[in-house]
Amino acid sequence: MGRKKISIIGAGFVGATAAHWAAEKELGDVVLVDIIEGLPQGKALDLFEASPIEGFDARVIGASGFEETRNSDVVIITSGVPRKPGMSREDLLDINKKIIGSVAAQVAERSPNAILIIVTNPLDTMTYLALKRSGFPKERVMGMAGILDTARFRAFIAMELGVSVEDIQALLLGGHGDEMVPLPRYTSVSGIPLTQLLSKEVIDRLVDRTRKGGGEIVNLLKTGSAFYAPSAGAIQMAEAILKDKKRILPCCAYLEGEYGLKDICFGVPVKLGVKGIESIIELALTEDEKKLVAKSADGVRKSIAELKL
Ligand SMILES: NC(=O)c1ccc[n+]([C@@H]2O[C@H](COP(=O)([O-])OP(=O)(O)OC[C@H]3O[C@@H](n4cnc5c(N)ncnc54)[C@H](O)[C@@H]3O)[C@@H](O)[C@H]2O)c1
């Protein structure tokens, strides 16, 4: 049994940080790809040179083309432009659709059995595009957003209560935009429902901050968007797949009737294992939650229509 191979397309902030987490966790060998000559090679070599100090054993190489990605087990796609202050994720669509369309096809040709994890924004739309361009079955193409959005919600709850992030379980549905649907009803602190620990006003404030969490970081950084937590989210998905962990995580998945939605990539809880998305979990929702889901889905549908596939 050989070592697992993880290719990461885009060696910018998210891609390079994902390579760092993957190598440190020894998930397998890592190939970092970028169109900027020298960037992936330099970052990969630097990361590999950290391995004797940190004591991780993973081969890390950089490449300017896709040949080195051949026969990858998992490919994480982060190539494309990030937001600047004042931009929405949708503003990235025109540029990023050209990049993702071509990258997904080139990756799929060389790694026909891989599982693709998309990170590039607008996330749900880029996941849909990668699914179509790769020609892969729906269980092998997914997007990372729900883990990040949920992690933000969990972080804000931990800060508010002054407790460990480790004890907070949360769930969230919907597209990766400001219309995402955090679910306080499905959120708990060591099993204690959140609604018993915080007032509705406070929960609403934390939900609002979660919805705008990406923008909060963009406004602070001014020249780019978040990358530590997004890359950690992508690696959590890769780890669940490579180790066949059967984790239940919120991911962007292709829906064929689940939640009453069809032909759309949308954030839902899934079971992640060696086959990719092994099942989609349908939650019982209140009428209000259903309305929020429908609104979020409308936004994603409009964005997918912009692809004009
Ligand atoms: N899903 C999420 O939750 C989430 C979170 C954060 C960022 N993002 C998105 O991830 C993407 C990357 O963000 P970043 O901060 O790493 O940006 P970045 O600018 O630091 O890196 C992107 C890299 O992609 C490279 N690239 C462009 N076209 C390419 C191609 N055809 N092949 C290979 N590489 C190519 C660029 O040269 C650049 O180095 C953005 O679209 C951003 O909006 C998504």
CA-wise closest residue to 184 among 209, 163, 164:
209
CA-wise closest residue to 116 among 65, 153, 89, 77:
77
103 Cβ below 6 A of ligand 1: yes
Residue 171 main-chain phi, psi, to 5 deg: -145, 150
User: Residue 206: is it exposed, middle or buried by C-beta count within 10 angstroms (0-12/13-18/19+)?
Assistant: buried
Structure-token match 């990372």, residue found: 144
Sign of dihedral through CA atoms 110, 111, 112, 118?
A: negative
176 as an active site residue: the answer is yes
Residue-level pLDDT, tens digit, the chain, 309 residues? 789 999 999 999 999 999 999 999 999 999 999 999 999 999 999 999 999 999 999 999 999 999 999 999 999 999 999 988 998 898 999 999 999 999 999 999 999 999 999 999 999 999 999 999 999 999 999 999 999 999 999 999 999 999 999 999 999 999 988 889 989 999 999 999 999 999 999 999 999 999 999 999 999 999 999 999 999 999 999 999 999 999 999 999 999 999 999 999 999 999 999 999 999 999 999 999 999 999 999 999 999 999 999
- Cβ atoms 276, 240 nearer than 8 A: no
142 Cβ below 6 A of ligand 1: no
125 Cβ below 6 A of ligand 1: no
Residue to substitute in 133, 222, 225, 251 for testing ligand 1 pocket (most ligand atoms within 8 angstroms of CB): 225
Tell me what pLDDT residue 231 has: 98
Residue to substitute in 8, 17, 21, 35 for testing ligand 1 pocket (most ligand atoms within 8 angstroms of CB): 35
Q: Which of 4, 176, 211, 271 is catalytic?
A: 176
What is the distance in A from the centroid of ligand 1 to the CA of 287? 37
Contacts of 185 (CB under 8 A, 6+ apart): 193, 195, 286, 289
Residue 30 main-chain phi, psi, to 5 deg: -120, 135
Tell me what pLDDT residue 2 has: 83
